[in-house]
Amino acid sequence: MDSAALLDLLGNENRRRILRLLAHKPCYVTEISEYLDVSPKAVIDHLRKLEEAGIIESRTDSQRRKYFHISRNLRLEVNVSPYEFGTKSAYPRSRKLDVTTWRYLSLDVRASEEGDDSQSMAAELRELERLENELSMAQRWVQGRITDVLDRLTDELDATENSRLYADVLLELADGPAETESISKAVDAPPGMVQEVLAEMAEHDLVERVGDGWALDE
């Protein structure tokens, strides 16, 4: 599901409360209605939207009572800064995904050994929660560093507007020289605007002309 649509879906407080409840145990409509203190009809409407989005599923018990439960793991990230707004959603494909094979992952992801006894499971859960907190702190640190670099770029160019565009242009040139047209397509901005950005950065000795294209100033 598109992350923007997912953000709209979860923007409703009652739908978030339903998911908090279902995260503890499967529930049927009457239980949810009593928990939320809203009508069963409204609950059914919320459940339908969550089910259409693939976030929850339902099953019917022997008494033909329909229970709802969360169907899969989902992570939604929202990034808001003076230079960027964006959302990103991820649905893990498999619990067997092996992050230890990722080439550029520098965090220690060696969790405790898997086991079926309570001691092993508790130790593994504690280690995974520690790793989750570490990843969260790393994300916040990275976001802070990105903001810091963009602040410095803004000060260097005395540019209070389009700071993100300046940064995107620099990133495109980080891999080597490129022509204005290709940079324009990569950063999704009109060629004329990109040309103005390049000219201004050239005045500040950040980029330079190389043949028919541009490169980072050495």
Residue 111 confidence class, pLDDT cut points 50, 70, 90: low
- For 119, 137, 144, 184, the CA distances from 54, given in Å and listed in that order, are 34, 29, 33, 37
Backbone angles phi, psi at 70, to 5 degrees: -70, 130
In a domain, 85, yes or no: no
Are 28 and 65 found together in one domain?
Answer: yes
pLDDT digits (tens, 9 = 90+) for 115-164: 778 888 888 888 888 888 888 888 878 878 888 888 888 888 876 566 77
Are 165 and 201 found together in one domain?
Answer: yes
Give the chain's domain count: 3
User: Quick one: 46 exposed, middle or buried, by C-beta within 10 A (0-12, 13-18, 19+)?
Assistant: buried
DSSP type of residue 84: E
Are 147 and 163 found together in one domain?
Answer: no
In the chain the first and final C-alpha atoms are separated, in Å, by 43
The H-or-E segment that residue 100 falls in is: none
pLDDT at 96: 59
pTM: 0.67
pLDDT digits (tens, 9 = 90+) for 156-186: 887 656 677 888 898 899 989 999 999 999 9
Are 205 and 168 found together in one domain?
Answer: yes
- What's the CATH code of the domain at 170? 1.10.10.10
With a cut of 90, say whether residue 214 has pLDDT above it: yes
In a domain, 84, yes or no: no
In a domain, 121, yes or no: yes
Among 15-19, 53-57, 77-81, 172-176, the least confident range: 77-81
Q: Which domain holds residue 34?
A: 3-70
In a domain, 77, yes or no: no
Cα angle 189-187-86, degrees, rounded to a multiple of 5 = 100
